[in-house]
């Protein structure tokens, strides 16, 4: 919570250093967690389909900490919070609607003659030599 300074104007809410450091170390912890979990799916039996949602949930937790405490949203006016959070709604609409429409032009993409166009591909190093020799 913010400090209470009676001598400060009422729009001035300094956040206590204790809280700021707490948020910082939580953010570091979550960063380590997301790196660890990203490697987890390779070594464990857990289905890889969880990897992306888990990474996004951790990122959103970090985003919440930054928004709420570093950006003072916790103490900010409701209208400011609403304005900012509404951008998330519009991003979701943007991504969602585009995804729904994305297969529509796949035919045009597929019909593009790409067989003779050199394009970068990723291959194991040993195969590179083979291509040159053949």
**Interface positions, 99-128, toward another protein (CB under 8 A):** 99, 102, 114-128
From the CB of residue 69, how many other CB atoms can be counted at a distance below 10 Å? 20
Is 49 a binding residue for another protein by CB under 8 A? The answer is: no
73-80: long-range pairs with CB below 8 Å, 24+:
75/2, 75/13
15 touches another protein (CB under 8 A): yes
Kindly state whether residue 83 participates in binding another protein, applying the rule CB under 8 A. Answer: yes
Q: Is 68 in the site for another protein (CB under 8 A)?
A: no
Are the beta carbons of 14 and 8 closer than 8 angstroms?
yes
Sole binder of another protein in the list 44, 46, 50, 91 (CB under 8 A) = 91
CA angle 61, 42, 51 (to 5 degrees): 30
Nearest distance from C-beta of residue 41 to another protein, angstroms: 6
We find the least distance from the C-beta atom of residue 114 to another protein, in angstroms, to be 7
Cβ neighbours for 58, distance < 8 A, ≥ 6 positions apart: 30, 33, 34, 37
Size of the site for another protein (CB under 8 A): 77
- Interaction of residue 29 with another protein, rule CB under 8 A: no
């Amino acid at each position: 919570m913010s400090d209470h300074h009676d001598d400060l104007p009422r729009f001035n809410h300094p956040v206590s250093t204790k809280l700021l450091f707490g948020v910082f170390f939580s953010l570091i912890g979550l960063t380590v967690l997301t790196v660890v979990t990203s490697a987890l799916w390779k070594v464990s039996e857990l289905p890889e389909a969880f990897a992306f949602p888990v990474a996004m949930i951790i990122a959103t937790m970090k985003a919440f900490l930054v928004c709420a405490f570093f950006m003072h949203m916790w103490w900010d006016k409701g209208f400011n919070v609403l304005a900012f959070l509404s951008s998330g709604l519009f991003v979701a609409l943007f991504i969602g609607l585009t995804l729904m429409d994305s297969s529509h032009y796949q035919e045009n993409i597929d019909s593009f003659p790409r067989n003779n166009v050199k394009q970068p591909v990723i291959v194991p190093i040993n195969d590179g030599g083979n291509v040159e020799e053949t």
